[in-house]
Structure 1
Amino acid sequence: MTRALELQQTFGEDVIRLDEAYVKKRSRDYYWYSPVLKKQLDGYAGDCVAIPRDEEELAAILSFAVRHRIPLVPKGGGTGNYGQIIPLHGGIVLDTMKLNTVKRIDDGAGTFGAGITLGKLTRILKGSGQELRFFPSTYMKSTLAGFIAGGTGGIGSIEYGTLWDEGNVLELTIMTMEEKPKRLDVRGKEELAKYIHNYGLSGVIIDATIALAPKTDWQDLLAEFDDWRDALVFSEQMAKKETVRKRLISVCEAPLSASFQPLRPVLSGDKHTVLIQAAPSHVEEIHQSGLSCGARWIDGFQAFTASKRLRATDFSWNHVTLWRLKDHPDDTYIQARFHPDTYEVQMQELSRSFPGEVLMHVEWIKSGGHIVPSSQPVIRYTTDERLFAIMDHCRRTGVRVSNPHTFLLEEGGKDDWIDHICQAKRENDPYSLLNPGKTKRMEVAEHV
C-alpha cells in the first residue's frame, strides 16, 4: 500500500484510485458464472487502479511498476468469465478504458485504441457503412483489447471465424513491461497469436487494427420447435447453406428459453428455440425452410424487440447462461466443441448419461474454414466432482472441452498458442509482473 500511495502522489488522484470499494469492483469480472472459481477467487483484489489517459502516461506507470517490482493486470470492460483480470498478487489493476481513440477508419479495416468499447465502435462504424465482423454478446461493455486478449469469437463467427482466423486481427501495438517500455508493432499470424487470448500475460495492447465488414441491416428471427432434433437439423441446414447470408444461428434446448424474461410474452417457454440473424433478402427462404422442419415462427419478433429496446443478441452465446442463472442461480455451464459429423450422437449420449443435468445450447460457427457446432451446455451444478465428471465424460466421447472453471490459461482448452505466448512473455516481461499466476508454465518470480 505504501507503493500505491507513492504511485498516486506521482500521477495524481484522477489517474490512481485507492478507494477500497472502487478497487475491489474494478478487480472483478464474471468469474462467478463458475461455482469453482467463485470459491477460489472471492476476496482477491488489487491495491490500486491505474487509469492512464494516453500512451505516455501508460508507459510511465509501467516503468514505475517495473522499478518497484509491482505486479500489474491489464483490464478492459471486465466481461470475461474465467477470472482473467482478477489480481492474484495484488498490485495495479490497469484500466485501459481511456485509451479509446479512433486512429483511422478505412474501407475494410480500422485502427482503434485498446479501451474503446465494441458498443461505441459499432455506433461509430455506422457512419462509414461498415460494422464489426464479429463480437461477443457482451459487446456493449467489452473493450476491443479486452475481447482480443480474453475472447474467442461471437456473433458473426459463423461467417468470419474466430480471433485466430487469418484476416480478422490485422495488427496490434503492444507495450512491453520493462523499465523502459518498448512499443511493438505486431503483424502476421504467428506473431499476433502471442497476444490473442493471452490474458494480458505477454504485453499490454494499446491499439489494434481489425478487419471490418460492410454494414448489413440484419433481420432477427426466432422459431420454436416441439422436437429437439428438428431444431438441430434446421439450424445445421441454414448454417451450412452458403447462399444464405447470416450472422447468428443460436439453438437452445427446452426449457432454457423459459428464462429469457423479456421474451416471455411471445415465447411458449417449454419449446426448443432457434434464433437467427440473417440478411433481409434471405428471410423468406429461411422462413419456408423452417416451416418444412416443424418451426413455429414468432411473428413480428423484430418489431417486438425493437419496441422493448431489446437486443436479440442478448439471448445468444453466454447470455443464455446469464438468463438461466437469474432463475436458477446454482446452475453453471461448460464449453464444448462437438464433432460436426457425430454431434447428435454425442449430445444424446451426454443427455442419457446425465438426465436433467445437462441442457444443450449451440451456436454454429466457422472454425478453420469449416462450419461446426460450438456449444455452451448449461449444467445443473451439485458438486465440483460431478461437474468435472461431466467434462471428463465429454472428452471420452470425443467432445473437445474448453474448461471455464479454471483461471489458468493452458487449462482452459484454448492453449494452441501457449508456447508462443510464453515466449513473448519472457521477452516482454522479464520480471513476470504481468498478471502473475495465470499460467502454470511460468513460475511467479520470487520478487513478486
Structure 2
Amino acid sequence: MRSYIWKWSSKPMQAECKTPLQADSLERLFDHLPEVVYSAIFDDPIRFTVLARPFEALTGRTVDDVQSGAVSWMDLVHEKDRAILREAYEPAQQGEPMSVEYRLCTSDGSVREVLDRAVPVRDAAGEVVGLDGMILDVTLRRQTERALERTQMLQSMGRLAAGIVHEINTPIQFIGDNMRFLADSFAQVLELIRSYQQFKEKVRQGLAGPQDGEQMDQAEAKAELDFLSGEIPSAIEQTLEGVNRVSTIVSAMRDFSHIDERRMAPADINRALRSTLIVVHNALKYVAHVETDFDPNLPLVMCCVDDLNQVFVNLLVNAAHAIGDVIDRGRGELGTITVRTRREGPDVVIAISDTGTGIPEEVRRRMYEPFFTTKGGDKGTGQGLLFVRTIVCDKHKGRLDCDTEVGKGTTFTMTIPIEGAQPRRK
C-alpha cells in the first residue's frame, strides 16, 4: 500500500498524488467517513501530517491547531489516559498494529471516548517512522454498554430480591418468636423472684414456717423453672444465630454491589464469590448442593469486583436453571454446583460447573447473541451471557471458556489477569 504525505488545513488540500482529481476524491472520501483518518510521524511530540476534517466535529478544534503545534495531541488526551496512549505507541514503534481506547477533551469541556486503530508506516530502509490510522468516536456505544450493565444488574437484583427477603425473613421470624418467649419467661421468672424476696423477708423476721416452703415449691412449679432453665439459654443462642445470619446477608449484599462505585481496584475474589453465594442462596438451595474449592493463597486481583459479582450471579443462576430443568424431567434428586478458584501464572481462574442439562450445539453457537434465550420471559432476557462475555473479555481483557456435554452439565471458566487489564486498551 502506497503512503501519501498530506498537508490538510482550512486551506485546500495539497498532496503528492498523481492528479488533482485523485486528491479531491480522497479528501471527499475522508471527509465523509465517520472515522477521523490520520497519518502521523513519531516525534516528540507525535506529529500529524494528515488529519481529516471529522476531527474538527469530534473535538471542536481545527486541523491547523494540531498541525501547527498550537495544540499538542497529548494535550487533547484526557490526563488519566495519556499513559495508556503512550504505552500503546511503544509496540507500534516496533512495528505492531495498534488498537487502543482513550478519551479526548473537546473545546467545550466535554469528553469523547474514542477507539484509535493504526498500522505502522515504514520508510525506504524499513524503519518504522509513523502510523496510518483511523479514530472512531465510541462514546455513545460505551454509554449504551454501561447503561446495559446497570440495567442487567438491576434486573438481576430484582429477580433475587424475593429470595433475599425470604433469607432475611426466616431468621427474623424465629428471632421474633424467641423474643416473645423470653418476654413471657421473664415475667414468670420475675414473679418467682418476688416470691423468693417475700420468703427471704419472712426468714429474716423469723416468721417462716413449713407452709412457706411449700408455697415456694408451688411458685417454682408455676414458673416452670426446670423448663425455663433449659429453654431460655437455647432461645438466646438461636436469637444470636439469627442476628448473625441477618448480619451475614446484609454484609454480603454490601459486598455484592456498590452500584455507583464501578471502578478497578484490588479485590478478594474468594470473598466476592462467598458473598455472591449468600446472595443467590435462595435461588440455588431448592435445586442443588453447592461445593466450593477455593485457593486459599489466591492474591488480590485488580478488577471491577461489582461487575464480576454480577457475572457470578448470572452463571450461578444459569446453573440452577439448568439443574432445575433436569429435576423437572424426572431425575428428582438435587444436582451439584461446584465453584473453584486457582492461580495460573499471571492469572486467576474461576470455574463454575453444574450437573444440569448441558448446552446443545445449536444453542451454543448463538448463546452470546443479544436477546437470544431458551428460557421463558420470567427467567431471562437473553442478555446475561452477553454481559458475562463483555465484562470478562472486553472490560477485564480475560478469557471465557465453555465446556459442556448434553445430559452431563456445563462448566464456564473465566481467566482474569491478576494485575488487571489497562482500561480501554484493546
Normalized per residue, which structure has more helix?
2
Q: In which range does the TM-score fall when normalised by the shorter chain?
A: under 0.3
Higher relative CO (CA 8 A, sep ≥ 6), structure 1 or 2? 1
The two structures have a TM-score, normalised by structure 2, of 0.22
Select the structure of larger CA radius of gyration.
2
